[in-house]
Structure 1
Amino acid sequence: MSAHARAVRAALALGLAVPLLTGCLEESSPHEAVREFLVGWQTGDYASAARRADANPATVRKALADAKQQLDAASIRFSIKGITRDGDTARADFHAEVDLGENTPLWEYDGSLPLRLVGGRWKVRWSPSVIHPDLRPGQRFAVATKPQGRQPILDRHGDPLQNETVLYVAGVYPAEIKDPERLCGELSRVTGFAQDRLLSRIRSAPPKDFVALATFGRTKYAQIHQRLRAIQGIRIVTDNAPVAPKSPTQIVGRVSAITPEAEQALGGPQRAGDSFGREGLQRAYQDQLTGTTETSVVILDAQTGRQIKELQAWRPVRKPTPVQTTIDSRLQSAADAAVVGPRPAALVAVQASTGHVLAVATNQLHQERDALAGRYPAGSVFSIVAADALLRSGFNPEQRVPCTPERSVGGARFQEPGVLTLQTPTFRTDFAQGCVTALASLARRVDGEAIRVTAARYGIGVDWELPLRTFSGSLPRADSDAAVARIIAGQTVQVSPLAMALVAAAVNTGTWRPPVLVTSPSTLPEPSSDGARRPEAQPVRLDPGTVTKLRELMRAGVTSGMARAAAAPGGAVHGVAGLADHIEGKKRTSLSWFVGWQGDVAVAVMAASDDKSAAAAIAGSFFRNARVRL
């Protein structure tokens, strides 16, 4: 809204508050003087206000402008409570609302304007008490703030997921500054912060308090430190802030000092020295981690800076508190080591009995966009869900199902390269080997709706939310044998590694559980991207008999199938390995998958490779490094 529009709205507001003010009034009435003074003060037209005061206009203009700067006020609004007249004198009572910004509540107070007739015109009898009843000559306003330190993000054991890093804070002691306009102009040219904002911060602060004006990381400070130190009056202090993220760095998120661009993105003025989360949990829980600032409006002796009176104080509405995650730093280290290599890879580990996300590791991929929210074809590891639907329909896993190099189902063609056996294997063997042609050949044994319902029981396509972006999966409706065959083979099913880790956890425990990444606070920080809070997903108990058979099939995947590379000491590993073709634009990538568990830790691993066992090898490395014992 433009300044002119705000002035018009302000004048209308005052006119509505006292209807008589909108008419053509005789000068013998004080109403017009009250209206002109308050509207001028409210809109920043201090010259107009000063014309209605009985003091030197320059004195009045300066006093009103100084008061606004001393409060660093975003706006001041007035409403007239009443006007009384007694001969040649009058009094107007008003209510003031001062927006101090910084997420601080409005400062509201009541004041009064004494008036008298001067040469036939009503004038405001000027004194500092016109601005506030407690303000006296030789005194000034100030706004004292006490920012709260940013709190850490913690792992499941309460250890911080950040390292300390050095921040450089440029600031001043206002009492030492002889020419604040010059200083702020020079600092504005170096930092990009608006000169008027810097000046307001200095003039609104108690003179003897250190006022932080701009904060820089090590790299930025190295670029500009010589120009900063050349500004007379600027002081540089350092702060060791726990903001450098540990692994998983993209889940935890980076933290930056407030910049001019960030100030605009955050929707309003921020205090220098404040920090904001750029990504991950630091961004999602920005308000909780930083809390609100303790603020007070005080009156000071203008010469000595001594506090005379505290007019109002706002204690923190929201204290900064840590965010407790489910990340297990020991398992995270094992996951990071496991994915190291020449190929892009992602590994997600969850606690099967709770759904708690224990580790998210990637190599050449993004932990949130790819591991939690990626949309990738499931390939033959979707056979876990398809097998559940088949078993529930009465299918016998010992039935022999040919694994052929090629297969056509309803016109859809499937291939399984490298098939050499002349014997017809059982479905158990086909499952363990991830044979696509065998899986696709079973399309007539189960309909598409049954698979869709089964997939939902494993959380695929279900609405569940974390404080970060996630993807639960999707599969199309299937009205033909070809469409069902493509789903069973996982060709048209999209999933994230997180979604498949939860599938493994469901088979392990017999119950699908929604994922959990943060345990404190217990509620999500904000609604979903469409503005609506989705219903909280509930655990789903699976059919016990079917789950028992699935566990046997997944154990065979490690003991005699393509997931053998996942075997590790410390307990039996269950799992299945498979391949999928990922097409993005004109680029086709073969994806190797492993989905399984050891103990109470369920994992899904995805790696860019045409080796069906590549992901299983990463899982095996993870299990061996972790020596899983939760």
Structure 2
Amino acid sequence: MRRARRTLAATVTLAVASSMLTGCFEEASPHDAVRDFLVGWQTEDYDLAAGRTDGDLATVRKALSDAKLELDAASFRFKITKIDMTGEESKADFHAEVDLGENNPLWKYDGVLPLHLVDGSWKVRWSPSVLHPQLKEGQRFAVDTEPTARQPVVDRAGDPLQSDTVLYVAGVYPAKLGDNAEEVVAQLSKETGYAQDRLLSRVRSSPPDKFVPLVTFGRSRYQAIQTKLEAIAGIKIEQQEQPVNPDAPRQIVGTVSALTPETEQKLGGPQRAGDSVGKSGLQQAYQDYLTGSTQTKVITLDLKTGRQVAQLEEWPGRQNVSVKTTIDRATQAAAEQAVADTETSALVAVHRDTGEILAVGTKGLHQERDALAGKFPAGTAFSIVAADALLKEGVSPKQRLACPQERTVGGAKFVHVGQPTGVTTSATFQENFAKGCVTALASLARRVTADRLTASAKAFGMEQPWRLPLKSFSGTLPSLSSDADKAKAIAGQNVEVSPLSMALVAATVASGTWRPPVLVTEPKSPDPAAEPVPAIQPPPVAMDPKVRAALTAMMRVGAAGTPAQGGKGKVYGVTASAGSEQSWFVGWQGDVAIAVLAKNYDAGAVAGSFFAGLGNPS
């Protein structure tokens, strides 16, 4: 589709330019011949072009048609730059732009059309040099390409996050096909679904003694079609190893497939057989970086020997590079093990001082769609953010609060699950925070303004447009227009968050500064193929030191004596409910901050297993 649009646009451009130029010359000038020849060549009206030459019509038509095939060109575009005339001789200079395929530069060159009068009409003096000044009799164009192997996605230590797998590439040696190229290509097209004309163009545009990859298969697809491929005379199979088998976190790394007719049509050139295409995760988001672009040369070949005569142009292609992530293998292994016994859970671990994502482990959830970009009720885990606002408003951690089974605030009803009917206990704000007493926390709604709650939420990263190459969700807080709204927010009932956003909340308290998440450190600039992202990351936001000290103490109490404190070393955090089935643990140990979301399972137990498996207490 891209090729068709380019060709049409080029045709219109020359037609308009030609009509304008026509009025600048008298009828007896050579301009009409030059114009008709170039328009005919550009629009593939080879009869029009050939009729404006002194050559054999069939020979000229074939030469122009072959040039398009030999270059595997999407389109030609020409501009007349100068016409000189001396008596019955004339010379026209023109500028050519040949589209060799999307993502490749245009091949630009300057050509010359010699003309002379034949029976009173101007004719282009035909020779192969009309097509290009360096093309001579007995020669043809060819395009020599060298695709580069796909680079890997790597962890923070530079080790690949995927293993090699074998791809099967069906191709041909053009010189060995003789006159059977069209038949061979027709059979391959029938069995694979690739467009016959595109396959044939690749064969005819390539050096005859070089293997031309045409179609790539994964193992299962190849095994299903192997017998049919082997029955096509002239088809050869080469095996290629490419780093496409993802390691954990598999859905973050993403999957890769061989090029298919559908993906080829979508992507356009210069992707060719042997190339691989990222289908998800970072493999898809950084497709252009990982694959780079094909090294391309336009050359001329001797028709008899098939040897290269001259190189007309060369493009080295864009260098492909590996994508370095912040994933830490040991942390990822601990996350995978921690969620293994659950049915539905997600664990995101980040470095407390940098916001770098160290691990994403899930069971029954998707690592990108749920762990990074999921929208879940925050529940009382949001009380960490609310506590920041309340402490700034002067609420003391030692203030005593009643914790009844039920309480109504501003017309909104709150129920503390697990509290016996008719029983009201009294405890400090710190203690109610630690055990997640919804009714006690909601009662503080009148002690904090809506603006203060909203400001704290934003300071902890909520609704911030951070820059991440994969889909993610920073959280949302509704407009707080009443005490009921504020109470619901403190209890996390009208707040949505993702496990990633809550891991960053834990990191904020642990380090004293909120920082946006980081998943990829190299390349430095976002990939143009990635999700749309802001041009600038939001800046870090430092906590009030006194508030942080108080909140750290509250979160130490929140983790003490719970399953989260399963290993050695101090753990800080809170275990919170988010409805009858979902629970959160948000906290940290040492320099690793985490958020765990679990369904019908104790999120604190998952956190405890993770910290024990990490084996790095402090």
TM-score interval for Structure 1 and Structure 2 normalised by the shorter chain: over 0.9
Q: CA deviation at 1:628?
A: 2.6
CA distance in 1, matches of 2:144, 2:245: 29
Determine the structure 1 residue equivalent to 2:213.
Answer: 212
CA distance in 2, matches of 1:126, 1:159: 59
Determine the structure 2 residue equivalent to 1:584.
Answer: none
1:95 aligns with 2:83: no
Determine the structure 2 residue equivalent to 1:605.
Answer: 596
Contact kept in structure 1, 2:567 and 2:608, CA below 8 Å:
no
Determine the structure 1 residue equivalent to 2:571.
Answer: 573
CA distance in 2, matches of 1:454, 1:125: 79
1:509 aligns with 2:500: no
CA distance in 2, matches of 1:53, 1:522: 55
Contact kept in structure 2, 1:527 and 1:533, CA below 8 Å:
no
Q: CA deviation at 1:116?
A: 2.1
Q: Which amino acid aligns with 2:258?
A: A
Determine the structure 2 residue equivalent to 1:384.
Answer: 384
Q: CA deviation at 1:629?
A: 6.2
Q: CA deviation at 1:343?
A: 2.1
CA distance in 2, matches of 1:5, 1:520: 38
CA distance in 1, matches of 2:533, 2:555: 38
Determine the structure 2 residue equivalent to 1:336.
Answer: 336
Paired residues for 1:360-509 under 5 Å: 360-420=360-420, 423-509=425-511
Q: CA deviation at 1:121?
A: 2.2
| Structure 1 vs Structure 2 CA RMSD | 1.8
Determine the structure 2 residue equivalent to 1:533.
Answer: 534
Determine the structure 2 residue equivalent to 1:624.
Answer: 612
Paired residues for 1:49-198 under 5 Å: 49-178=49-178, 179-198=180-199
Q: CA deviation at 1:617?
A: 0.5
Q: 1:471 to 1:592 in 2, by over 3 A?
A: same
Q: 1:103 to 1:535 in 2, by over 3 A?
A: closer
Q: Which amino acid aligns with 2:93?
A: D
Q: Which amino acid aligns with 1:491?
A: Q
Q: Which amino acid aligns with 1:462?
A: Q
Contact kept in structure 1, 2:352 and 2:592, CA below 8 Å:
yes
Determine the structure 2 residue equivalent to 1:585.
Answer: none
Q: CA deviation at 1:290?
A: 1.3
Q: CA deviation at 1:501?
A: 0.3
Q: 1:270 to 1:58 in 2, by over 3 A?
A: same
Q: Which amino acid aligns with 1:596?
A: G
CA distance in 2, matches of 1:528, 1:153: 15
Q: Which amino acid aligns with 2:551?
A: L
Corresponding residue SS for 1:566: coil
Corresponding residue SS for 1:441: helix
Q: 1:426 to 1:34 in 2, by over 3 A?
A: same
Q: CA deviation at 1:232?
A: 1.2
CA distance in 1, matches of 2:470, 2:413: 38
Contact kept in structure 1, 2:353 and 2:507, CA below 8 Å:
yes
Q: CA deviation at 1:527?
A: 9.1
Q: CA deviation at 1:5?
A: 7.6
Aligned match for 2:15, one of 6, 11, 25:
11
CA distance in 2, matches of 1:269, 1:518: 26
User: Percent same amino acid among aligned pairs?
Assistant: 56
Q: CA deviation at 1:61?
A: 0.6
Contact kept in structure 2, 1:171 and 1:236, CA below 8 Å:
yes
| Deviation per residue, 1:447-493 (Å, 9 max, x gap) | 22111101111111222121111111111121211111100000001
CA distance in 2, matches of 1:139, 1:47: 22
Determine the structure 2 residue equivalent to 1:275.
Answer: 276
Q: 1:502 to 1:8 in 2, by over 3 A?
A: closer
| Deviation per residue, 1:160-181 (Å, 9 max, x gap) | 0011111000001111112111
CA distance in 1, matches of 2:365, 2:291: 30
Q: Which amino acid aligns with 2:307?
A: R
Greater alpha carbon shift after TM alignment, 393-402 vs 168-177: 393-402
Q: Which amino acid aligns with 2:14?
A: A
- When the two structures are superposed, what TM-score results if normalisation uses the length of structure 2? 0.95
CA distance in 1, matches of 2:370, 2:528: 22
CA distance in 2, matches of 1:480, 1:73: 66
| Deviation per residue, 1:549-597 (Å, 9 max, x gap) | 111111111214xxx011133310111011113xxxxxxx721100001
Q: 1:349 to 1:342 in 2, by over 3 A?
A: closer
1:315 aligns with 2:303: no
| Deviation per residue, 1:175-228 (Å, 9 max, x gap) | 111211111111111111111110111111111111100111112112211111
Q: Which amino acid aligns with 1:243?
A: V
CA distance in 1, matches of 2:568, 2:205: 64
- When the two structures are superposed, what TM-score results if normalisation uses the length of structure 1? 0.94
Unaligned runs of 5+ in 2: none
CA distance in 2, matches of 1:566, 1:240: 43
| Deviation per residue, 1:340-375 (Å, 9 max, x gap) | 234211000001011110001111111111111111
Q: Which amino acid aligns with 2:584?
A: W
Contact kept in structure 1, 2:104 and 2:270, CA below 8 Å:
no
Corresponding residue SS for 2:380: helix
Q: CA deviation at 1:534?
A: 4.4
Q: CA deviation at 1:155?
A: 0.3
Q: CA deviation at 1:58?
A: 0.8
Contact kept in structure 2, 1:257 and 1:274, CA below 8 Å:
yes
Q: 1:487 to 1:527 in 2, by over 3 A?
A: farther
Q: CA deviation at 1:16?
A: 3.2
CA distance in 2, matches of 1:226, 1:12: 53
Unaligned runs of 5+ in 1: 582-588
CA distance in 2, matches of 1:492, 1:253: 33
CA distance in 2, matches of 1:432, 1:53: 91
Determine the structure 2 residue equivalent to 1:261.
Answer: 262
Contact kept in structure 2, 1:102 and 1:270, CA below 8 Å:
no
Q: Which amino acid aligns with 1:571?
A: G
CA distance in 2, matches of 1:88, 1:423: 111
Contact kept in structure 2, 1:601 and 1:628, CA below 8 Å:
no
Q: Which amino acid aligns with 1:481?
A: D
CA distance in 2, matches of 1:13, 1:338: 69
Paired residues for 1:289-300 under 5 Å: 289-300=290-301
Q: Which amino acid aligns with 2:20?
A: L
Corresponding residue SS for 1:200: helix
Q: Which amino acid aligns with 2:213?
A: A
Q: 1:527 to 1:130 in 2, by over 3 A?
A: closer
Contact kept in structure 2, 1:345 and 1:606, CA below 8 Å:
yes
Determine the structure 1 residue equivalent to 2:243.
Answer: 242
CA distance in 2, matches of 1:423, 1:437: 11
